[in-house]
Amino acid sequence: MKYLVDFIFSLYDLLNAMSPYLLLGFLFAGILKVWFPQRWIDRYMGKSNWGSVINTAILGIPLPLCSCGVIPTGISFYRNGASKGSSVSFLISTPQTGVDSIMVTYSLLGLPFAIIRVFVALITGVLGGAATNFYAKNETVNSSTTTQGCDKDKMGTKSGLMGVLKYGFHDFLMDIAKWLMIGILIAAALSVLIPDDFFTQYLSNDLLSMLVVLVASVPLYLCATASVPIAAVLMLKGLSPGAALVLLMAGPATNAATITIIKKVFGNKTLVSYLGSIILGALAFGFLINTFLPEEWFLLSAENLHHVHHHELLPQWFQIASTILLVGLISNGYIQAYLRNKKSKLNLIKTEQLATSVLSTNDNSPVFKTATPSLNFSFDNLKPINSKTYHVEGMTCSHCKASVEKNLGQIKGIKTVSADPKNNSVTITGDDIEDNSIMQCIESLGYSFKGKV
């Protein structure tokens, strides 16, 4: 019972510490998504030189995309003419940071760590992009590059304030909500279960602790924001700042799904450049932090979770109100998603029933007579509506869902598209559905087409 009580209080402290900064970050996320011109990104990503990868890294750092959302965006840049090095620079620098994660890093780990995190994302993105241009520039990949009918999502729209709020406090929030809450729950559990002297007693060697954290971080998915409370709790238990930086870099920038997609779309050499820059950069900067930077920059105490950095600026009632609002927004997002899925299934059932009813009418008569005698409809030239469900892997968030639905909907003959990341499926209805066109479009977006269900 004591552990449960301690867990609840720890979770409460973490939410109060993070919520105000998360909400501010989500607002910035909406502003960047809606009002940041796509043409600015396209203009600075097309050349295979240092300037291109630097510009791309700078542009990618504030963008609110986690490693699952950055993949289709980065691939769309590449398909639309961006150099391979620029695309890799974007894929490395973008998921490590974002306006939301920078704000949370400041709130929990302090200003020095927030600045260092941005600097490291910039350097590793530039080096990874430059290495790709040098090592893998001319590498060819045996994968579909057909993008006919697949117009990629564009940053920047003409939506007003409502578009900003919808993206920031619904679309983007729900992209990371699951992993954000998992990260906070893990952090609260670690704060209760791990003894205060664990790292000083068992992993006192800085290099060993960095390697252990690196091995655990590379294959797992951990969004940039969710990694911050985990790093904060582990530092309170004695983890070195350098090892915490490794977690903040490798956790958001890599995971098994991302590695698989990069290998398929960009090739083995690009994957080596991508992983090499992240792994070597994490270890190198972790070593530099532990060796050369003042320890007092990274001193934390339990008070950091609910007092230090923002307690004097933000009153407790405001923190609690922010927590209530954040939890309310997440709960509303899941409720709306449930209602939409339920409605979609009901509509599909009604459509199938209607089609069955129409086709089962008098086979000898091509005319369907309604209750109104003057309204007669001929079905002689009417094509039956087909429905197919495909197994698609790699979709992990609402951004993936929207990207797949939008692009498949552009294909001629497609009437409706319903992507389900949770079940790795895409259901399509239309007059004439060609499996090859569906496969090419899905794979051009970076996802894995596994055929019909």
Are residues 297 and 411 both part of a single domain?
Answer: no
Q: Tell me how far apart the alpha carbons of residues 256 and 118 are, in angstroms, rounded to a whole number.
A: 24
Q: Is 59 exposed, middle or buried (0-12, 13-18, 19+ CB in 10 A)?
A: buried
Share of the chain above pLDDT 70, in %: 77
pLDDT per residue as tens digits for the range 14-24: 788 778 878 88
Q: Mean pLDDT over residues 96-117, rounded?
A: 90
Q: What is the largest CA-CA distance in the chain?
A: 88
Which residue matches tokens 């600045």? 115
Q: Mean pLDDT over residues 111-131, rounded?
A: 95
The DSSP output letter for 169 is: I
Considering the domain boundaries, does residue 356 fall inside one? no
Most confident stretch, 143-147, 360-364, 388-392, 412-416: 388-392
Considering the domain boundaries, does residue 369 fall inside one? no
Q: Mean pLDDT over residues 88-115, rounded?
A: 90
Angle at 447 between CA 132 and CA 435, to 5 degrees: 130
Query: Domain residues for 81?
Result: 2-333
- What pLDDT is stored for residue 148 in this prediction? 41
Are residues 160 and 263 both part of a single domain?
Answer: yes
- Contact, 98 vs 63, CB < 8 A? yes
The mean pLDDT value of the chain amounts to: 79
Are residues 296 and 432 both part of a single domain?
Answer: no
Are residues 311 and 387 both part of a single domain?
Answer: no
pLDDT per residue as tens digits for the range 59-74: 889 877 766 667 766 7
Neighbours of 387 (CB within 10 A): 16
- What pLDDT is stored for residue 274 in this prediction? 93
Are residues 101 and 248 both part of a single domain?
Answer: yes
Considering the domain boundaries, does residue 199 fall inside one? yes
Are residues 299 and 435 both part of a single domain?
Answer: no
Are residues 279 and 421 both part of a single domain?
Answer: no
Considering the domain boundaries, does residue 374 fall inside one? no
Q: Mean pLDDT over residues 388-416, rounded?
A: 83
- Higher pLDDT: 244 or 310? It is 244
Tokens coding 171: 């679309």
pLDDT per residue as tens digits for the range 288-334: 999 999 989 998 765 555 444 443 456 888 889 999 999 999 999 99
Q: Tell me how far apart the alpha carbons of residues 453 and 451 are, in angstroms, rounded to a whole number.
A: 7
Is the pLDDT reported for residue 453 higher than 50? yes
- What pLDDT is stored for residue 445 in this prediction? 78
Are residues 329 and 387 both part of a single domain?
Answer: no
Are residues 77 and 203 both part of a single domain?
Answer: yes
* Of residues 140, 36, 137, the one with CA closest to residue 94: 36
pTM: 0.68
Which residue matches tokens 């060796």? 291
Are residues 15 and 116 both part of a single domain?
Answer: yes
Q: How confident is the model at residue 157 (pLDDT cuts 50, 70, 90)?
A: low
Most confident stretch, 150-154, 178-182, 287-291, 445-449: 287-291
Considering the domain boundaries, does residue 364 fall inside one? no
Phi, psi (rounded to 5 degrees) for 426: -135, 120
Are residues 387 and 240 both part of a single domain?
Answer: no
Q: Tell me how far apart the alpha carbons of residues 368 and 202 are, in angstroms, rounded to a whole number.
A: 79
Angle at 200 between CA 199 and CA 201, to 5 degrees: 90
Considering the domain boundaries, does residue 349 fall inside one? no
- For the ranges 166-180, 265-279, 412-426, the lowest mean pLDDT is seen at 166-180
pLDDT per residue as tens digits for the range 30-49: 786 777 666 665 666 767 77
Q: In one letter, which amino acid is 323?
A: T
At 361 the three-state DSSP class reads coil
* Of residues 447, 452, 441, 451, the one with CA closest to residue 394: 447
Considering the domain boundaries, does residue 325 fall inside one? yes
Q: Which of these three, 274, 298, 333, is where a domain ends?
A: 333
Query: Domain total for the chain?
Result: 2
Domain containing residue 400: CATH number: 3.30.70.100
User: E-assigned strands of 36-91?
Assistant: none
Considering the domain boundaries, does residue 353 fall inside one? no
